[in-house]
Amino acid sequence: MTALPSFLETPGGRRLAYHRLEGDGPCIVFLGGLKSDMQGTKAVHLEAWARSQGRAFLRFDYSGHGESSGAFTDGCIGDWAQDTLAAVTALTDGPIVPVGSSMGGWQALLLARGLPERIAGLVTIAAAPDFTEDGYWASFTDAQKQQLDTEGQVELPSDYMEPYVITRRMIEDGRDQLVLRSALNLPFPTRFLLGTADTAVSVATAVRLLEHAQGPDMELKLVKDADHRFSDDKCLKLMVEALTEVLTKAA
């Protein structure tokens, strides 16, 4: 039987669902993807692993996701960054190691920029930094851009679920959250993972992030034929191996 979540009331007035494990630090903080939730395969697998290792672990739903308050279409990257900061501040102590998946990879990078003194290491899976600008906006047709301006939103098909509703607010706010246009210092063990069959995040994006970020211990691992979910047994094993390496180096 799945345990019921706890809830955090944030300074911004949002109600975030979360699961937290007490244990040894640094605390592992899982940051999910766009329209994903904390019940996803990677989040649950990591929690089980953390429990087996006696490690502190936190997973939560951004506002408009999963069991947290709000509607997805009301949110944006900056809102979810506020949620992440609120969860980390209220629910963890001391060093943390964020593990960010897809949009959560962008959130992990924003957290590293906004709370650098707390980050002991970082792992991303199919990180999608700046995707609202370099993915959505860059690929919009003139008609879609006009629709976004006049109607405030457009729908985009997804390979993984129902269409994404992309709002004008998400695009405009995303421009205030970009991490590939200015210095990105990651002065701790950092591992980026990506599957070569990922249709949402390109190898070029992963290489761009690797080349742009500055840090003394940074690696990108490409996994042949793995897709964006990165959730089969092999990928989950690689995720845990990367996290274990980062935690060992951070100790």
**Residue 236 sits in a domain of what CATH number?**
3.40.50.1820
Handedness of CA 162, 163, 164, 167 (dihedral sign): negative
* Per-residue pLDDT tens digits of the chain, which is 251 residues long: 568 999 999 988 999 999 999 999 899 999 999 989 999 999 999 999 999 999 999 999 999 999 999 999 999 999 999 999 999 999 999 999 999 999 999 999 999 999 999 999 999 999 999 999 999 999 999 999 999 999 999 988 776 667 788 999 999 999 999 999 999 999 999 999 999 999 999 999 999 999 999 999 999 999 999 999 999 999 999 999 999 999 999 87
Residue 165 belongs to a domain: no
Which residues in 13-130 belong to E strands, given as ranges?
15-21, 24-31, 55-60, 96-101, 122-125
> Is there a domain that residue 28 lies in?
yes
Rounded to whole angstroms, the Cα distance separating 172 from 183 reads 21
What whole-number distance in Å separates Cα of residue 78 and Cα of residue 94? 24
Cis peptide before 26 (omega within 30 of 0): yes
Within-domain flag for 139: no
Given a contact cutoff of 8 angstroms between Cβ atoms, the answer to whether 228 and 201 are in contact is: yes
* Nearest Cα to Cα of residue 38 among 79, 11, 13, 7: 7
In a domain, 146, yes or no: no
What's the number of domains the chain is made of? 1
102 belongs to a structural domain? yes
178 is a domain residue: no
182 exposure class (CB count in 10 Å sphere: 0-12, 13-18, 19+):
exposed
- DSSP state for residue 215 in the 8-state scheme: -
Instruction: Read off the pTM.
Output: 0.95
Judge whether 79 lies within some domain: yes
Cα radius of gyration rounded to whole Å, the chain: 17
Q: Distance between CA atoms of 208 and 220, rounded to whole angstroms? A: 11
What range does the domain containing 101 cover? 10-129+183-250
What are the C-alpha distances in Å from 69 to residues 139, 179, 224, 239?
31, 27, 38, 29
Whether 168 maps to a domain, the answer reads no
